[in-house]
Amino acid sequence: MKKKETTMQITVTRTLKLKEKTCPACQKRFIGPLVKKYCSRECLNRADYERNAEARRTHRREVYREQKGQQTERK
């Protein structure tokens, strides 16, 4: 015979200190927690792209050239 498990639902309240900040990507002022750097996911993605754009282009170029080389070998 299996033991009957009982569950209980709990809720937790977190209190975060908010601070007025300026988004480094769009220069918009926003109020957010101390750990948040960008005002939105869009700005976070834009900043990430700008930091890694050249590496992404280089990788994509290498993949393209490999695919192009495989196509010419088949012909």
pTM of structure = 0.61
Give the confidence band of 18 by pLDDT, cuts at 50, 70, 90. very high
Q: How many domains does the chain have?
A: 1
Arithmetic mean of pLDDT over the chain: 91
What is the rounded CA–CA span in Å between residue 44 and residue 24?
9
- Residue of 59, 16, 19, 23 whose CA lies nearest to 42: 23
Residue 56 DSSP symbol? H
For position 39, what pLDDT does the model report?
96
Q: What is the mean pLDDT of residues 24-51?
A: 95
Instruction: Flag whether 7 is in a domain.
Output: no
Expressed as residue numbers, the domain containing 60 is: 18-74
Whether the Cβ atoms of residue 21 and residue 40 lie closer than 8 Å to each other: no
- Residue of 52, 1, 51, 4 whose CA lies nearest to 25: 51
Instruction: Flag whether 65 is in a domain.
Output: yes
Instruction: Flag whether 37 is in a domain.
Output: yes
Instruction: Flag whether 10 is in a domain.
Output: no
What is the rounded CA–CA span in Å between residue 36 and residue 47?
14
